[in-house]
Amino acid sequence: MENSNDSFLVREPVSGLMRKYSVPCIISLLVAALYNIVDQIFIANASYLGSCGNAANTVVYPLTVTALSIAVMIGDGACAFVSISLGAGKTDEAHRSVGNAAALTVVCSLVLAAVYLLFSDAIVTAFGGRVNAETFALSKEYFFWITLGIPFYMFGQAMNPVIRSDGDPQYAMKATLAGCFLNIILDPIFIYPLHMGMAGAAIATVAGQIVTAALSLRYMFHMKSITLSRSSFSLRFSLIRRFLFLGMTSFLSQISIVASMAAVQNMVLKYGALDQVFMQEQYAQIPMAVLGIVMKFFQIVISVSVGLAAGIIPVAGYNIGAGRKDRAKELFILLLKWEAVLGAAALLITELMPQYLIRIFGSAGESEYYTLFAVKSFRTYLCMMICATINKGTFIYLQSLGKALESTVLSLIREIVFGVCLPIILPLFMGLDGVLWSMPAADLMTFIIAAVLIIRTMKELSYPAQTARTAAVY
């Protein structure tokens, strides 16, 4: 028998369900992205921090993504597992997976924070923090305070998709919005009148993360489709293995960004030092600072892309669990259309209006070399945005169908094989420009492979289901 709270997932039009689930998810992810972006905007516009502060923010950013990658692996995996389990009528597995996801997140976050605190110098250095002495000092300061908030950040991010799987994407969105609004309020207060610098930006961020985590914890004891008990939180590794496998693509899509940014940032450090302009001490931080700005815009676009796909994981998972392949196919087609529209809109902005994007991040007091390199970076690095958004949507949707292996392999190819190797290889022939061309090259090559998987998946979803509930929960 279908769960009464979720049976509408197999009845309502998929376009309406996509709006209901994806829009709150998009807003939640955008707000989560804004934590770091807002910090960078206020930092860049503080005269006493400037491009060195911008560069320091860029150095620390991949380290927050590392925490996010673990959180979304747990959260998205549990979300997909819960949705498929509810669709198949397995409520016992659903509530245990939620409890295990929460407990596992707490353990992982504490371990990661301890590692960050113990090896902070080496970690900051590995991500290009020693571009100059001022950038290194600012990176260390920002990293320390951000690390203290890692447990709260990870818990809020992991529980967000779990809340969506329970049928309340609006609450998930509000929990994230509340934290972000607090961050936006505190950032200018701490950075400008109180003159707290990088520490102020980080403390404002952590304060917002605590609010989001607290609201997420509150929801766990008022869930609609699932009732948690003490036994729900007893770690069961056989169960953890199953939902982590479903969340592996989300993990790889995020952690590979870290690997890719480590490669890119170190190549920028290496080849920037060989550039006639950027080898000068006063301009050395410019490539790193500009890279951070470009990646922040990319993060905004990808947050929308991921939100479109991740938001409908409960819808797709439930319909697969209920044997409705036709609806899953219809949803996939709709997703790909919107991903293409998003990529096209982002491409127009980066190609036609890069100067306006640069101004948002405080280019007023910078040299002409800063502006010229930033314009070139936007137009080159992000010229394959249509491919990038379609690729990202495909990665995530495949995992919602239970196709964790295909999704994981495709994500690995994009983010590790292409995302790490190309930034290392292309600069050997093109210098600093090779770093900029590595991103579009990776997206185009991945799209060719993704197209094959898209066609094959469409054919599979066209086959009628043999029974009412044929989906396997891996």
Predicted confidence at residue 311, as pLDDT, reads 84
Q: What is the mean pLDDT of the chain?
A: 84
Predicted confidence at residue 451, as pLDDT, reads 95
Predicted confidence at residue 332, as pLDDT, reads 93
- Contacts by residues 440-446 (CB-CB < 8 Å, ≥ 24 positions apart): 440/380, 440/381, 440/382, 440/383, 440/384, 440/387, 442/414, 442/418, 443/384, 443/385, 443/387, 443/388, 443/391, 443/414, 444/384, 444/387, 445/418, 446/387, 446/391, 446/410, 446/413, 446/414, 446/418
User: pLDDT for 190-209, tens place per residue?
Assistant: 999 899 989 999 999 999 99
Predicted confidence at residue 6, as pLDDT, reads 53
For the chain, residues with pLDDT lower than 50 are 1-5, 466-474
Predicted confidence at residue 52, as pLDDT, reads 81
Residues contacting residue 456 through CB under 8 Å, at least 6 positions apart: none
Predicted confidence at residue 458, as pLDDT, reads 92
Residues contacting residue 193 through CB under 8 Å, at least 6 positions apart: none
Q: Which two three-digit tokens encode residue 2?
A: 């279908």
User: pLDDT for 257-269, tens place per residue?
Assistant: 777 778 888 888 8
